[in-house]
A and B are shown apart, each in its own frame.
Chain A
Amino acid sequence: MKLIIAMIQPHKLPDVKKALYGAEVFKMTVTNALGCGQQKGYTETYRGVIHEVNLLKKVRLEIAVNEDFVEPTIKAIIKGSRSGKIGDGKIFVLDLPECIRIRTGERGGYAIG
């Protein structure tokens, strides 16, 4: 089992969701996140004053999957979020030692699916 964490552009979320549905990945957790990578920030203007916004708004996706879904999930996230420009985001893949469905007490791969 793996936990896939992706940081993407907020406005790419609809496309990523669509691509994930296409790959039959229906379960995910989505949170707002702030952060910066290579892009470092952008400028906003407020009443004529230019200021650097250092931490950018990102969306953080967390998806727990069984091994055979790892590559399709990664591909779907890239398909939905890639624009080719700086700021597209990152995907982290972590080992996931255990997963428990609270309602039934199921464990492991059954609990994820």
Chain B
Amino acid sequence: METIYASNIGIDTLWVLIAAFLVFFMQAGFGMVEAGFIRAKNACNILTKNFLDFCMASIGFFIFGYAIMFGRGNSFMGLQGWFLSGAQSAAPVPLFAFWLFQAAFCGAAATIVAGGMAERMKFSAYLVYSFIISAFIYPVVGHWIWGGGWLAKLNFIDFAGSTVVHTVGGFAALIGTIILKPRIGKYNSDKSANAIAGHNIPLASLGVFILWFGWFGFNPGSTLSVGNGNLIARVAINTNLAAASGGILAMFTIWKMFGKPDLSMAMNGALAGLVAITAPCAFIDPWAAITIGIVAGIIVVLGVVLLDRLNIDDPVGAVSVHGINGVWGTLAIGLFGKQALGLANNGLFYGGGLKQLGVQLLGVTAVIIFILITMGIVFKLIDATIGLRVSREEELRGLDIGEHGMESYAGFQVFVTE
């Protein structure tokens, strides 16, 4: 009998598709984290948003997104391959596999915002927002960095998306929550903050584990090929170490600052480590991954405290986890990156000077400015047309009944006190 071996491209395609499925599953992680960290009366609403934004992202990224991100065009955006017709794969795997992997990333960027704007954003506004970000805004940034745009030409490096996915999502959430204003009862007139406790910590914990698991597709999958296995293995161990050290350090930081090892913050720390390692994971050694995770775990806690000081209400910590740590991860390439692992320049700690760090700083700053302006305009336009925020009465009663006419926990008595 003739033996048939899988071709290299077949194995690579299998790998990219498995990674795409893992990244898709992160959608469930985001859903559980966000639902767990908010009040019971809004759980159905946030899950509807999480569910529908992946649907919207899939369609938006099919019609417009891929063409803008990977189509031939100028250094600002691609202009060819609408509806994938005539589009080409930007990796040595078939177009459809590459598209699915990229679409899952696009969905992740869109869904980050749901958490930051939770418990008060209108559902119809969210639908419109999620289509716009995934069809137009996210792909433009993606083109700059992964589609051969101006930042790619400057040797700006973002291996798996600290900037492309997480900084975009995090800063879109920041401008969104600023425009939306805080939830009723979050801040007192003397500017002090009240705790609005999440209603289901077990659910949020499950979500964090799912995200961590999915990240093994997010980062290692971004190799886009199996090769001899070395690169995948390096990315996987770095991903895991950064998450672990981020979780530990966030726990110790909150323990020291407020007296108790708060689980929700420790979990935010693991996510912060994952976000930060996403850009540098392929170009660093494991000790650097631990260091990056340590810093991420500390700054995620400081970020949450700082936002509360500024009276910016981010119910699940999306801005600290994805925005601030997306920036940190992007800059970390300029510190810990190694030329021997494929970078154009050594990082600062390997004697490469400030060159790579400067490029990273320029790139991430440009992306932040672009996102704040474009998403600011998008949210303002939505606010002026269909309205961004639900009524006061609906917010107090809960968006589950107000927006969807159904409860998350029918048969349970949900006690609404704030």
Contact = CB atoms under 8 A, between A and B. Distances in A.
- Which interface residue of A10, A13, A46 has the most chain B CB atoms within 10 A? A10
A46 B415 contact: no
Given A13-B417, A14-B185, A14-B418, A44 B405 contact: yes
B310 interface: no
Nearest to B393: A11
- Most A CB within 10 A of own CB, among B393, B401, B410, B416: B416
B397 interface: yes
Given A10-B416, A14-B185, A44-B405, 15 more contacts: A10-B397, A11-B393, A11-B396, A11-B398, A12-B396, A14-B184, A14-B396, A14-B418, A30-B417, A32-B415, A34-B413, A44-B406, A44-B407, A45-B405, A46-B406
27 contacts: A10-B416, A11-B393, A11-B397, A11-B398, A11-B416, A13-B416, A13-B417, A13-B418, A14-B184, A14-B185, A14-B396, A14-B417, A14-B418, A32-B413, A32-B415, A34-B413, A44-B401, A44-B405, A44-B407, A45-B405, A45-B406, A46-B406, A46-B410, A57-B413, A57-B414, A59-B416, A83-B393
Interface in A41-57: 44-46, 57
Nearest to B404: A45
Interface string A28-46: 0010101000000000111
Contacts of B396: 11-12, 14
Contacts, number: 32
Interface of A: 10-14, 30, 32, 34, 44-46, 57, 59, 83
Contacts of A32: 413, 415
Contacts of B407: 44
Nearest to B405: A45
Interface in B203-244: none
Nearest to A15: B396
Nearest to A13: B417
A46 to B, nearest CB: 5
B320 to A, nearest CB: 27
A11 B397 CA distance: 5
Contacts of B185: 14
Contacts of B417: 13-14, 30
Nearest to B396: A11
A69 B407 CA distance: 38
Contacts of A34: 413
A14 B415 CA distance: 12
Contacts of B184: 14
A30 B406 CA distance: 25
A13 B396 CA distance: 9
Nearest to A59: B416
A30 B414 CA distance: 13
A107 B404 CA distance: 50
Contacts of A83: 393
Contacts of B401: 44
10 pairs of A and B residues whose beta carbons are closest in the complex: A11-B396, A11-B397, A10-B416, A45-B405, A32-B413, A32-B415, A46-B406, A44-B405, A14-B418, A13-B417
Interface string B365-402: 00000000000000000000000000001001110010
A68 B143 CA distance: 71
B418 to A, nearest CB: 6
Nearest to A43: B405
A44 B408 CA distance: 12
A57 B396 CA distance: 14
Nearest to B407: A44
A57 B411 CA distance: 11
A11 B394 CA distance: 8
Most B CB contacts (10 A, CB to CB) among A11, A44, A83 go to A11
